[in-house]
């Protein structure tokens, strides 16, 4: 399966007004892709388009709510109308309620699912007819490592992310069965330093937090650009995501035990925050139309991301480690060590 170089692509980024979506749009712009950027926040899109044009790239803004299919379809249609085709669709929007399941209202749970799961499906539904017509392309959906392992206090968000993983698995196999060379990728980050935690509704009495360590949005944007040219099934972003995924595979019960002990305090800051403070569950918050959040002091680099984007070096390191382990075992058996 071949994907075009970035500078030859028409790229749609949904959820582009802030966080990962904004970071990804700016990265695509630096590599001279033609862009359609979409979100609910008109002011956030306007400032983003100005930044993109300052980088010497083209961009069109479409205001849309991902819970309304006709609005999502209009994003894809606008890309084809303006540029004649669609090559890559990047879907990032998500919202959250930080509360115990017992304290989450039914309409809030549904809204998180509508935005963070149904909206993702709407994005694929809108993009696929155009990608199929081109005979190639990439669907890139930003999920979360919480789609592999849920945390307490985020039942609605984790449910949505598990759902994203399920629908992408079904879709990927259906496209393969039809022989259609469209790359379907799930991006699964660990905690990312975006305004996500400022935007979320909280009933914890304090400002919520992701489970540290954090990673900068630029790391996720780099992963998105990588999979836009390198067909990839899943891309875990951040070493913490890889460790979480491995532990969940090895012993879910052990992860349960750890989360009972520390999972609650890891997701709570000491900063008081009322549930009445504005959140983005139903309306955007223009003040948070920025890439980074408030946890940059907790952000760390990730070795695993670099290795995943350099597979020859990655497997060389694995082979080297295996060889050293074998030689050490043989030496131990022969009594040399």
The catalytic site residues sit at 157
User: How far out from the chain centre does Cα 303 lie?
Assistant: 18
Q: How many CB atoms lie within 10 A of CB 222?
A: 18
Q: What phi, psi does 204 have (nearest 5°)?
A: -90, -10
The tokens 């082979």 sit on which residue? 319
Which residue in 89, 69, 72 sits closest to 10, CA to CA? 89
Burial class (CB in 10 A: 0-12, 13-18, 19+), 77: middle
Strand partners, 209: none
Tokens of 23: 């970071």
CB 160 within 8 A of CB 117: yes
The enclosing H or E element of 123 equals helix 119-134
CB 163 within 8 A of CB 118: no
The tokens 């970035």 sit on which residue? 6
Q: What phi, psi does 264 have (nearest 5°)?
A: -75, -50
Angstrom distance (rounded) from CA 85 to CA 9: 9
Beta-sheet pairing, 206-208 with 268-272: antiparallel
Burial class (CB in 10 A: 0-12, 13-18, 19+), 69: middle
DSSP 8-state class, residue 115: I
Angstrom distance (rounded) from CA 330 to CA 216: 43
């Amino acid at each position: 399966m071949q994907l075009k170089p970035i500078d030859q692509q028409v790229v749609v980024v949904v959820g582009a007004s802030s966080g990962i979506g904004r970071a990804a749009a700016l990265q695509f712009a630096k590599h001279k892709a033609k862009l359609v950027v979409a979100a609910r926040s008109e002011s956030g899109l306007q400032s983003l388009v100005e930044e993109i044009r300052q980088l010497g790239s083209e961009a069109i803004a479409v205001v849309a709510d991902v819970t309304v299919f006709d609005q999502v379809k209009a994003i894809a249609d606008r890309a084809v109308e303006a540029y004649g085709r669609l090559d890559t669709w990047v879907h990032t929007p998500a919202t959250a309620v930080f509360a115990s399941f017992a304290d989450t209202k039914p309409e809030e749970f549904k809204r998180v699912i509508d935005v963070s799961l149904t909206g993702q499906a709407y994005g694929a539904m809108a993009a696929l007819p155009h990608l199929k017509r081109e005979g190639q392309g990439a669907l890139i959906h930003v999920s979360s490592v919480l789609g592999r392992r849920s945390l307490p206090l985020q039942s609605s968000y984790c449910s949505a992310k598990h759902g994203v993983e399920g629908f992408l698995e079904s879709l990927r196999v259906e496209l393969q069965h039809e022989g259609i060379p469209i790359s379907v990728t799930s991006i699964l980050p660990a905690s990312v330093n975006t305004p996500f935690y400022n935007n979320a509704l909280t009933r914890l009495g304090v400002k919520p937090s992701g489970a540290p360590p954090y990673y900068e949005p630029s790391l996720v944007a780099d992963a998105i650009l990588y999979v836009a040219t390198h067909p990839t099934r899943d891309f875990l972003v951040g070493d913490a995501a890889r460790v979480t995924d491995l532990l969940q595979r090895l012993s879910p019960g052990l992860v349960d035990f750890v989360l009972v002990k520390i999972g609650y305090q890891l997701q709570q800051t000491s900063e008081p925050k009322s549930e009445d403070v504005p959140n983005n569950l139903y309306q955007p918050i223009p003040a948070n139309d920025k890439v980074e959040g408030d946890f940059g002091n907790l952000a760390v680099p990730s070795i695993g991301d670099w290795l995943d984007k350099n597979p020859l070096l990655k497997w060389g390191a694995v082979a080297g480690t295996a060889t050293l382990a074998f030689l050490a075992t043989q030496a131990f058996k022969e009594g040399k060590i």
